[in-house]
Amino acid sequence: MKKRGPVIELKNVWKIYEMGDSKVEALRGLNLEIKKGEFVTIMGPSGSGKSTCVNMVGCLDLPTKGKVSLDKQDISNMGESELAQIRGRKIGFIFQTFNLINTLTAVENVALPMIFQGTPESDRLKRAKHLLDMVELEHRFHHKPNEMSGGERQRVAIARSLANDPEVILADEPTGNLDSKTGKIVLQFLQKLHKKENKTIIMVTHDASMAKYSERVVHLRDGQIVSKKRR
């Protein structure tokens, strides 16, 4: 399938944290382009700037210097409310710790992001059930997170990430709390979203074995990209 234009661009992005009298350069002139429909893995050791890069790619933080664009829209100087709205529409998040609300059922957890986009309740519930069907959890609609296994909770999180039909799925260590067998199932779901739904997948990990599921691997060290490899 022919790739389209870039969905996320980081141009000469610096992120500098002031800690007392010292300054920490977490990102140092980072340039990264992620095209629509790509599956990209971002890797790097602790302290490489990987987490800061994720925050930039996910529009969770703003650069000290440089430009971050999402769908050709410069988000570098946006306010938090505007950022929150664009995140809600354009990006779905999957976290290592699932980040589900324990007092809500699977359906309610998946429907939650749609509330903030003004989706009517009947439509929210219909789509939430459809998405849980898609990740093979139709038997868990009304179960709460503490009544499900780790793998099931992560599949609920995948369904939730798709609630507002975002272009981009950002998966931060999505198998970090799972055993290898369950982790493989989760990775296969991400691969399916990429191949069949043409979603842009950005996966962040320290586990080199996970890179085989993606098309391109970006390695970070000391706040800079040290290699970009196509698979």
- List, for residues 24-48, the tens digit of each pLDDT value: 999 999 999 999 999 999 998 888 9
Q: What are the pLDDT digits (tens) for 103-122? A: 999 999 999 999 989 999 99
Q: What are the pLDDT digits (tens) for 170-186? A: 999 898 888 888 888 88
Percent of the chain residues past pLDDT 90, beyond the cut: 65
- Could you state, in order of their start, the residue ranges of all structural domains in the chain? 38-60+79-230
Determine the Cα–Cα distance for residues 19 and 124; give it in Å rounded to an integer: 44
Averaged pLDDT of the chain? 91
pLDDT class of 72 with cuts at 50, 70, 90: confident
- The H or E element spanning position 159 is helix 150-161
Asked if pLDDT for residue 213 goes beyond 80, the answer is yes
CATH class of the 38-60+79-230 domain in this structure: alpha beta
* Coil vs helix vs strand at 140: helix
pLDDT of residue 206: 84
- Say if residue 18 is exposed, middle or buried (CB neighbours under 10 Å; 0-12, 13-18, 19+): exposed
| Beta carbons within 10 angstroms of residue 230's beta carbon | 7
